[in-house]
Amino acid sequence: MSQIEPDKYAVVGDPIAHSKSPLIHRLFAQQTAQNIRYEAIRIDSEELSFAQAIEQLKQEGFKGLNITVPYKVDAFEQANQLTARAQVAQAVNTFVFEADGQILGDNTDGAGLVLDIEQNAKRPFKDQRVLIIGAGGAVQGILQPLLAKQPGRVHIANRTAKRAQVLGERFDTSVPMSASGWDAIPLEPFDIIINGTSASLEGKLPPISEKVLGAHSLVYDMMYGAQPTVFMNWAKQHQPNCQTLDGLGMLVGQAAESFALWRGVKPDIQPVIAAVRKLIQSN
């Protein structure tokens, strides 16, 4: 009896050694009984250009890839076809290698965030007042899927006000949107507050007023770690009953969206978030 070879997938980036994606996709494959292999591959741009490395992986028979830091914009430029959400994000985190040799580029980051907030945190966006902090690549990737959920309003605040304004103006939406620097954030409670700055990485807090916090706000940090982030701690300190969540669920959510694109089946993210959480807390 011949054994069927698993379909090959990988995440590419640099650095990549600590990527959780191989574990996440292995758990998805077990859960959905899909015969796949998924590995982490470092692309060292001093050895090989991104385009050359991708061509090589395609020749080796990979069916699809996840693309992470620092290559999401290179991936956007290399794809032959783009999904609408990748086009808006101007960044790609998922490739599908089509049978005819074409590369389809998608961006599942925003869908992953929406999935995590709506299904895991159980906070639908519809009619909610949303405050987004930051206006870099990470925020650019989430805006379109978030706006598609018809929140009541969205305010984007960024250290560099101009960047928030430019980003806000790019979206053609019926959702009322506004943008500002730190000094002009409306001082009223928001229902959902999302920190998309890279400040948490350095353990820093964006200097915003606690007046944006409501007793029942969901305070979400796109970063994650073994401990709650400084941003989550700040929120709890001022509003002990607010709900806080880090970005681990978004990581698992974007992976689930990529997996669904490749395999046609959407895994349940909750048990996988729990398993990855346990692992990072034990390290």
d(CA 259, CA 257): 5
In whole angstroms, give the CA distance from residue 184 to residue 193.
16
Residues 247, 162: Cα–Cα separation, whole Å: 26
Which residue stretches of the chain are H helix? Answer: 21-32, 50-59, 72-78, 84-89, 109-115, 137-147, 161-169, 230-238, 248-263, 269-282
- Name 221's Cβ contacts closer than 8 Å, sequence gap at least 6: 194, 195, 200, 229, 231, 232, 244, 245, 246, 247
26 binds ligand ATR (CB under 6 A): no
Who contacts 211 (Cβ-Cβ below 8 Å, separation ≥6)?
187, 188, 189
The answer to whether 205 touches 233, Cβ cutoff 8 Å, is no
72 is catalytic: yes
Pick the stretch among 119-127, 131-139, 208-216, 241-249 that binds ligand ATR (CB under 6 A).
Answer: 131-139
Of residues 105 and 206, the one with the C-beta less far from ligand ATR: 206
Tell me: does residue 195 bind ligand ATR (CB under 6 A).
Answer: no
- Least separation in angstroms between residue 58's CB and ligand ATR is 26
Total residues contacting ligand ATR by CB under 6 A comes to: 14
Q: Is 142 in the site for ligand ATR (CB under 6 A)?
A: no
Kindly state the smallest distance separating residue 234's Cβ from ligand ATR, in Å: 13
Nearer of residues 204 and 216 to ligand ATR, judged by Cβ? 204
Q: Which amino acid is at 231?
A: F
Site for ligand ATR in 199-218 (CB under 6 A): 199, 204, 206
- For the beta carbon of residue 24, count every other beta carbon within 10 angstroms: 26
Judged by beta carbon, residue 55 or residue 182, the one nearer ligand ATR is: 182
Judge contact between 217 and 235, C-beta under 8 A: yes
Identify the active-site residue in 20, 72, 126, 266: 72
Span from 103-111, 148-156, 197-205, 248-256 in contact with ligand ATR (CB under 6 A): 197-205
State the nearest-atom distance from the C-beta of 208 to ligand ATR, in Å: 9
What letter does residue 120 receive in the DSSP assignment? I
Q: Which lies closer to ligand ATR via its Cβ, residue 91 or residue 111?
A: 91
Length of the chain equals 283
Question: Cβ closer to ligand ATR: 48 or 69?
Answer: 69
Contact 92, 66 (CB under 8 A): no
Closest-approach residue to ligand ATR (CB): 136
Taking the complex as a whole, the smallest distance from the CB of residue 75 to ligand ATR amounts, in Å, to 14
Can residue 135 be called a binding residue for ligand ATR (CB under 6 A)?
Answer: yes
178 is a contact residue toward ligand ATR (CB under 6 A): no
Residue 138 sits in the site that holds ligand ATR (CB under 6 A)? yes
| Contact with ligand ATR (CB under 6 A) among 159, 238, 266, 277 | 159
Whole-number Cα distances in Å, 2 to 33, 36, 211, 256:
18, 16, 64, 30
Q: For ligand ATR, give the closer residue by CB, 110 or 206.
A: 206
Binding site for ligand ATR (CB under 6 A): 134-138, 158-160, 163, 197-199, 204, 206
Residues with a known catalytic role: 72
